[in-house]
């Protein structure tokens, strides 16, 4: 068992010991007094850490996201990240950056996208200088936290270049898994319908908390069917079925299952399961599945506008 808490001054020695375990080549961050640190604490001591450097009132740097070997693959890093993200929102930050040498794909599942060094805001320049940022060896990634600028008058995000990022923003604004995936992909295809996302609502939370299929996967299936499904009973279904079978195989390979209960490890229809979902910050894990499903389905969509 472990708990996520904000770090205390007495944790600094243990935090430095944890950070010494970082993969070779990963950028290091020189801890500052202003840094906000969260730790995963267990009977074995500190087993994980995640940090936020508030560079100014609008810009922050996510750093030092690390879990001790032997405790990985337990969603600890994602829970640490969610605490750091919540803290960034509470501070009113509008832009979040991070550095990585080998974890770009992982951070992309958290909503980050690559950005060039020439786009670095002035407030971040000094932090990068202290961290010896080398653009030849290290990727600089960015995620916008400015929700108000990403939301249209009808309460949903404006169009984005990357449907996976758009799906994550829908999810952050309150839409559920299947709704978010279907919304992002349908708008990517140029389709705006009053029946979307409502047609996906019952597929969320494992088909309405009934231990059914993962809603993110279901949203991808619906989007592929919008693009490749049929209107005429005389038409074939081969292209549609082939795309969905491949999508399902790739989703299983990436996530381990298409079952909501297996992916979450809890019963969302029970009080205990809902408490586990809340306390273990499984919302962050669902967000990852939303991003993965959107990206995988997008790769299988035809390029044509289906309006």
For residue 148, what pLDDT band results from cuts at 50, 70 and 90?
very low
Residue range 86-106, pLDDT digits in tens? 899 889 898 999 999 988 888
Range of the domain at 55: 2-145
Residues 219 and 268 in one domain: yes
Residues 279 and 188 in one domain: yes
Is residue 306 in some structural domain?
no
283, 301, 260: which is closest to 163 by C-alpha?
A: 301
Q: Look at residues 94, 115, 145 and tell me which one is the last residue of a structural domain.
A: 145
Residues 190 and 115 in one domain: no
Q: Look at residues 88, 121, 145 and tell me which one is the last residue of a structural domain.
A: 145
Which domain CATH number covers 124? Answer: 3.40.630.30
Burial class (CB in 10 A: 0-12, 13-18, 19+), 201: middle
Residues 55 and 97 in one domain: yes
Is residue 307 in some structural domain?
no
Residues 122 and 170 in one domain: no
Task: Tell me the mean pLDDT in the region 72-79.
Answer: 82
**How many structural domains are present in the chain?**
2
Lowest mean pLDDT among 93-97, 161-165, 259-263: 161-165
Residues 295 and 158 in one domain: yes
pLDDT score at 102: 87
Residue range 184-215, pLDDT digits in tens? 999 999 998 999 999 999 999 999 999 999 99
Is residue 251 in some structural domain?
yes
Q: Look at residues 145, 180, 208 and tell me which one is the last residue of a structural domain.
A: 145
Is residue 164 in some structural domain?
yes
Residues 26 and 122 in one domain: yes
For residue 303, what pLDDT band results from cuts at 50, 70 and 90?
low
* CA–CA dist 248, 252 (Å, integer): 6
Is residue 232 in some structural domain?
yes
pLDDT reading at 245 higher than 80: yes
Lowest mean pLDDT among 30-44, 70-84, 156-170, 213-227: 156-170
Mean pLDDT, the chain, integer? 87
Task: Tell me the mean pLDDT in the region 20-48.
Answer: 91
Give the pTM: 0.58
- Percentage of the chain beyond pLDDT 70 is 93
**Cβ–Cβ under 8 Å, residues 104 and 138:** no
Is residue 305 in some structural domain?
no
Residues 88 and 195 in one domain: no
pLDDT score at 61: 96
Cα distance between the two ends of the chain: 51
Residues 119 and 93 in one domain: yes
223, 218, 108, 81: which is closest to 168 by C-alpha?
A: 108
For residue 154, what pLDDT band results from cuts at 50, 70 and 90?
very low
Task: Tell me the mean pLDDT in the region 240-253.
Answer: 93
- Which has the higher per-residue pLDDT, 117 or 81? 81
- Percentage of the chain beyond pLDDT 90 is 52
pLDDT score at 161: 54
For residue 143, what pLDDT band results from cuts at 50, 70 and 90?
confident
Residues 104 and 179 in one domain: no
Residues 107 and 188 in one domain: no
């Amino acid at each position: 068992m472990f708990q996520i808490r904000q770090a205390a001054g007495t944790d600094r020695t243990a935090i430095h010991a944890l950070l010494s375990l970082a993969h070779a080549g990963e950028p290091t961050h020189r801890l500052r007094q202003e840094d906000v640190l969260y730790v995963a604490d267990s009977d074995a001591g500190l087993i994980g850490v995640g940090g936020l450097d508030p560079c100014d009132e609008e810009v922050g740097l996510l750093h030092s996201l690390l879990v001790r070997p032997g405790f990985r693959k337990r969603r600890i890093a994602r829970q640490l990240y969610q605490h750091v993200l919540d803290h960034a929102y509470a501070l009113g930050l509008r832009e979040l950056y991070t550095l990585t040498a080998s974890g770009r794909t992982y951070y992309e599942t958290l909503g980050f996208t690559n950005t060039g060094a020439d786009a670095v805001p002035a407030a971040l320049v000094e932090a990068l200088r202290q961290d010896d940022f080398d653009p030849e060896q290290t990727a600089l990634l960015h995620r916008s936290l400015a929700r108000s600028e990403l939301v249209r008058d009808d309460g949903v995000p404006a169009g984005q270049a990357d449907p996976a990022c758009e799906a994550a923003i829908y999810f952050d604004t309150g839409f559920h898994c299947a709704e978010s995936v279907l919304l992002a992909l349908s708008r990517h295809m140029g389709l705006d319908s009053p029946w979307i996302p409502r047609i996906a609502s019952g597929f969320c939370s494992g088909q309405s908390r009934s231990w059914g299929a993962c809603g993110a996967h279901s949203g991808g299936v619906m989007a592929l069917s919008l693009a490749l499904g049929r209107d005429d009973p005389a038409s074939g279904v081969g292209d549609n079925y082939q795309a969905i079978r491949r999508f399902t195989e790739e989703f299983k390979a990436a996530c381990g299952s298409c079952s909501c209960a297996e992916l979450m490890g809890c019963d969302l229809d029970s009080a205990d399961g809902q408490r586990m979902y809340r306390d273990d910050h499984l919302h962050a894990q669902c967000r990852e599945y939303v991003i993965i499903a959107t990206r995988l389905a997008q790769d299988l969509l035809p390029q044509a506008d289906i309006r």
